[in-house]
């Protein structure tokens, strides 16, 4: 087991290099660079920058060097000093900008993962055990509806309902007075008051598909002889379900850990923008648009690293839960 983990960790290194390099190339692919964007924004307010100033700016940001040199310098800074470079747009070190947002993103991801599991697991098992009952049909309709609604539409509608019908303060993750405040217990409580809406919205579609998968897997397992044997031994129906078929049907739940983060970042950009969440996605989008490449590159690198770790965790958990899987 330890050998397996070590081997996988070792293989992450080339993957991370490849992803970060690809991200770097992709960010530079559109014509122009940050200085072009900067000049365009200034031009919008009737301020003109001459060629010399632009060249000076490029030199200061290191944009006059070939891309491969820029990449090596950036990577070197990360490896030796943990320095992710400067954000052009914010004129701040990247590391100061991303950690809090990444932490909030991760918190949101884990909260929606827990919500998804807590809803999908019992419903999936119920639907399989009481196949074709009224409850099963109701949950089936619900899950297909959940799969079909675009998340931003759901976000808009739920925001409207929460704001108009219940008079809730929606949008963002914090109330106004806590936004810039340092972390405290009161701020945590405030976060809890706000986080439920995005969690529900982000959980709905994944819950719906997990219910389907769980139901299908349980239906495959339930008629198997080992279930009959367990029943013949006199196990109570509940213990029987939890102990044998559920353990095997759990497989897809654990696999979801691996997709969770990239899905949450890529898929939730729209939700994060509609709900005005201070997570990684909107800042990533903004930095990509402005070609603020060290900031965008750092985000892509971190997301990728977390995804690879997530996929490792899910593989290890799969081996622990499912007795049929062995890691060689």
Which residues of the chain form contacts with other proteins (CB under 8 A)? 11, 14-15, 18-19, 22-23, 26-27, 29-31, 144-145, 147-153, 156-157, 159-160, 163-164, 212, 220, 258-259, 262, 265-267, 269-270, 273-274, 281, 284-285, 288-289, 296, 300, 303-304, 307-308, 311
Alpha-carbon span 159 to 162, nearest angstrom? 5
Nearer to other proteins, 235 or 270 (CB): 270
Residue 41: both structure tokens together: 């924004």
Min separation Cβ 193 and other proteins, Å: 19
Write down the least CB distance from residue 284 to other proteins, Å: 7
For residue 87, the 8-state DSSP code is E
Structure letter (DSSP) for residue 93: E
69 or 157, CB closer to other proteins? 157
Supply 281's token pair: 């996605």
Which residues are CB-contacts of 201 (< 8 A; sequence separation ≥ 6)? 151, 154, 155, 158, 271, 275
Q: How far is the CB of 224 from other proteins (least distance, A)?
A: 12
Question: DSSP assignment, residue 56?
Answer: H
Which residue number, 87 or 307, has a Cβ lying nearer to other proteins? 307
Q: Cα angle at 232 between 222 and 227, to 5 degrees? A: 20
Q: How far is the CB of 318 from other proteins (least distance, A)?
A: 12
Residue 59 sits at the vertex; the CA angle it makes with 56 and 64, to the nearest 5 degrees, is 125
* Residue 170 beta carbon to other proteins: minimum distance, rounded to whole angstroms: 9
Minimum CB distance to other proteins smaller for 90 or for 142? 142
């Amino acid at each position: 087991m330890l050998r397996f983990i070590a081997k996988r960790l070792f293989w992450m290194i080339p993957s991370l290099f490849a992803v970060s390099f690809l991200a770097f190339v992709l960010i530079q692919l559109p014509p122009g660079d940050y200085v072009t964007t900067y000049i365009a924004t200034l031009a919008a307010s009737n301020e003109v920058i001459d060629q010399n100033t632009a060249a000076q700016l490029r030199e200061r940001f290191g944009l006059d060097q070939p891309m491969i040199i820029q990449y090596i310098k950036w990577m070197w800074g990360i490896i030796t000093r943990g320095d992710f470079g400067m954000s052009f747009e914010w004129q701040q070190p990247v590391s100061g900008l991303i950690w809090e947002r990444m932490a909030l993103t991760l918190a949101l991801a884990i909260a929606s993962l827990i919500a998804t599991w807590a809803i999908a697991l019992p419903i999936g098992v119920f639907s399989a055990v009481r196949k074709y009952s009224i409850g099963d049909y109701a949950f089936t309709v619900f899950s297909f509806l959940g799969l079909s609604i675009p998340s931003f539409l759901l976000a808009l509608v739920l925001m409207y309902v929460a704001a108009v019908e219940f008079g809730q303060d929606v949008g963002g993750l914090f109330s106004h007075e806590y936004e810039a405040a340092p972390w405290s217990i009161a701020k945590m409580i405030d976060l809890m008051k706000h986080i439920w809406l995005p969690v529900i919205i982000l959980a709905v579609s994944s819950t719906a598909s997990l219910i389907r998968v769980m139901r299908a897997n349980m239906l495959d397992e339930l008629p198997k002889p080992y279930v009959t044997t367990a029943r013949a031994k006199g196990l109570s129906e509940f213990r029987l379900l939890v102990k044998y078929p559920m353990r095997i049907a759990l497989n897809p739940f654990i696999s979801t850990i691996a997709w969770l983060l990239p899905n949450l970042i890529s898929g939730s950009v729209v939700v994060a923008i509609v709900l005005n969440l201070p997570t990684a996605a909107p800042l990533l989008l903004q930095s990509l648009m402005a070609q603020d490449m060290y900031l965008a590159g750092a985000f892509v690198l971190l997301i990728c690293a977390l995804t690879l770790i997530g996929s490792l965790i899910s593989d290890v958990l799969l081996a622990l839960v499912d007795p049929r899987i062995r890691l060689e």
